[in-house]
């Protein structure tokens, strides 16, 4: 390939030239190309980052408290994010420079109807309804939810069942044919619309999740919990500040308060 054959047309004449092959050595060219490829490979970012969109309420003080939407106690699930601490202290215990997430939750009011701090101003340990959970993915084999996901799925069962039905309908072409690209896009759009309607359906029992976090919890666990909201089709959730009661419950749970 890298040679040029020189055939002399004439023949039989006296000063006939020898057949010559001109060969071009491409090795240095390949070397240089490889270097350039290496350079470009190292300099580029192939994987684009993903983004997670979040909308928060404004910080403006609301004058008229009656206008506030209060989550009813039976719908409310409070998730408290924290980091693993060293035993008996509030220092963060990190493993290999990584903060280990810890997640607590309670359903309904803190401390139940009685309240953790009774009328006498003392702490009632027996009323502490805080439980510890973990960020666990679904079981790889059976697909059953574990950890905090199990709780959320249990609470959001009505919505999830409808969504599963909807997904089946989508897969069977209930929203239009999935054969062509255009059809798929259209079906996807219709599916998204129907799914969002189900998520907001007020007749279905669904939880309102309040996400709280201690200052030491990692950003990763915040993203994790927001992911869980997305995975489990939670329509109503909010990020809120820890109250004093919440702190008391966490400290009490960890046994840091004297009995």
Partner 1 sequence: MGRVKIAKKSTFIDMTAMSDVTVLLLTFFMLTSTFLSKEPTTVITPPSVSEDKVQETNYVQVLVSPKGQIWLTMNNDTSADYSNEKMKMALLDKVTEIYNEQHKNKPVKFTDQQKYAFSKLGSFGVPMSQMGEFLNLAIKGQEGQTDMDKWLDGTDNNPNHISGIPISKEQDENHLSEFQMWMKAMRQTDNPKLAEKIKDGSGVAIKADQNTSFEVIHTVMDNLQTIRMNKFTFLTALKGASE
Where do contacts with partner 1 occur on this chain (CB under 8 A)? 1-2, 23, 25-27, 29-30, 33-34, 36-37, 40-41, 43-59, 81, 83, 94, 97-99, 137-138, 140, 213-224, 226-227, 230-231, 239
Question: Cβ of residue 89: shortest distance to partner 1, in angstroms?
Answer: 17
Distance (Å, whole) CA 211 – CA 144: 24
Distance (Å, whole) CA 135 – CA 103: 7
**DSSP H or E segment with residue 223:** helix 219-231
Question: Cβ of residue 75: shortest distance to partner 1, in angstroms?
Answer: 23
- Measured from the CB atom, the residue of 49 and 244 that comes closer to partner 1 is 49
- Measured from the CB atom, the residue of 117 and 226 that comes closer to partner 1 is 226
Tell me the β-bridge partners of 106.
Answer: 78
Question: Cβ of residue 139: shortest distance to partner 1, in angstroms?
Answer: 10
Q: Rg for the chain (alpha carbons), in Å?
A: 32
Question: Cβ of residue 92: shortest distance to partner 1, in angstroms?
Answer: 8
- Measured from the CB atom, the residue of 16 and 26 that comes closer to partner 1 is 26
- Measured from the CB atom, the residue of 20 and 36 that comes closer to partner 1 is 36
DSSP code for 49: P
Phi and psi torsions of 117, nearest 5°:
-100, 110
Nearest CA among 103, 59, 106 for reference residue 84 = 103
């Amino acid at each position: 390939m890298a040679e040029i054959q020189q055939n002399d047309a004439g023949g039989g004449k006296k000063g006939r030239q020898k057949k010559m092959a001109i060969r071009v050595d491409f090795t240095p060219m390949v070397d240089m190309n490889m270097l350039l490829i290496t350079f470009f490979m190292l300099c580029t970012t192939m994987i684009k980052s993903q983004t997670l969109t979040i909308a928060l309420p404004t910080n403006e003080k609301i004058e008229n408290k009656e206008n506030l939407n209060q989550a009813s106690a039976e719908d409310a699930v409070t998730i408290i994010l924290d980091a693993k601490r060293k035993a008996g202290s509030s220092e963060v215990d990190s493993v290999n420079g990584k903060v280990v997430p810890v997640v607590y939750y309670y359903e309904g009011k803190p401390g139940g109807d009685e309240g953790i701090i009774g009328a006498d101003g003392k702490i009632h340990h027996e009323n502490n309804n805080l439980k510890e959970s973990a960020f666990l993915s679904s079981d790889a084999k059976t697909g059953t939810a574990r950890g905090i996901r199990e709780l959320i799925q249990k609470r959001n069962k009505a919505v999830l069942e409808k969504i599963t039905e909807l997904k089946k309908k989508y897969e069977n072409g209930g929203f239009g044919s999935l054969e062509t690209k255009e059809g798929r896009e259209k079906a996807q759009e219709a599916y998204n619309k129907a799914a969002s309607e189900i998520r907001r359906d007020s007749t279905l029992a669904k939880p309102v999740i309040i996400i709280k976090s201690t200052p030491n919890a990692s950003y990763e666990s915040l993203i994790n919990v927001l992911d869980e909201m997305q995975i489990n089709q939670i329509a109503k959730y909010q990020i809120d500040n820890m109250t004093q009661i919440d702190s008391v419950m966490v400290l009490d749970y960890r046994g840091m308060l004297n009995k």
